[in-house]
């Protein structure tokens, strides 16, 4: 295994472990929010926004982890009926024509918006909300970076496997 590939996989694995804590925290906050609202008749915009932020973090950063673990949606009909060598070639083509352009587009399209948000330290439009919208928007280009890095790791694995088969 390549050092770069190992480093990327370790980063993605660490993110996956971190997300398990995010999920646990999100569930606890949902329970607290429900108890506050229905038992004590207290509503909290800040808690609701924090749940939304954690939800966004969980799903956006979870994309790269799902890609690493091969738990993403893929064309199983094709990959189950072809040889491992052709499956690796298909994965390489899929990365080059689909994953890489998607990740680069995500980074490109969201960077300006994120920079503007940081420049004004954009906050919530809701009274009592969190003034961290700029942090929330940062998740978008970071997702593109993480997906691109994980794609590079998978590309290196597929190329290495193809070299070993030849």
The pLDDT score that the predictor gives to residue 142 is 98
- For 96-124, what is the mean pLDDT? 96
- For 79-99, what is the mean pLDDT? 86
Q: pTM (2 decimals)?
A: 0.90
To the nearest whole number, what is the mean pLDDT of the chain? 92
CA angle 96, 78, 8 (to 5 degrees): 40
| Cα–Cα distance, 16 to 24 (Å, whole number) | 13
Nearest to 140 by CA among 159, 163, 166, 117: 117
Cβ distance 27 to 45 under 8 Å? no
The pLDDT score that the predictor gives to residue 78 is 66
Burial class (CB in 10 A: 0-12, 13-18, 19+), 157: middle
Banded model confidence at residue 79, pLDDT cuts 50, 70, 90: low
């Amino acid at each position: 295994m390549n050092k770069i590939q190992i480093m990327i996989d370790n980063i993605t694995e660490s993110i996956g472990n971190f997300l398990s804590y995010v999920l646990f925290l999100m569930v606890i906050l949902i329970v607290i929010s429900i108890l506050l609202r229905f038992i004590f008749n207290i509503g909290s915009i800040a808690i609701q926004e924090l749940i939304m932020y954690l939800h966004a973090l969980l799903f956006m950063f979870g994309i790269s982890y799902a890609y690493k673990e091969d738990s993403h949606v893929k064309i199983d009909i094709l990959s189950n009926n072809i040889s491992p060598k052709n499956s690796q070639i298909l994965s390489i083509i899929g990365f080059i024509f689909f994953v890489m352009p998607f990740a680069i587009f995500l980074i490109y399209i969201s960077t300006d918006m994120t920079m503007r948000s940081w420049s004004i330290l954009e906050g919530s439009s809701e009274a009592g909300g969190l003034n961290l919208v700029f942090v929330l928007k940062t998740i978008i280009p970071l997702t593109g970076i993480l997906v691109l890095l994980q794609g590079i790791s998978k590309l290196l694995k597929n190329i290495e496997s193809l070299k070993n088969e030849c």
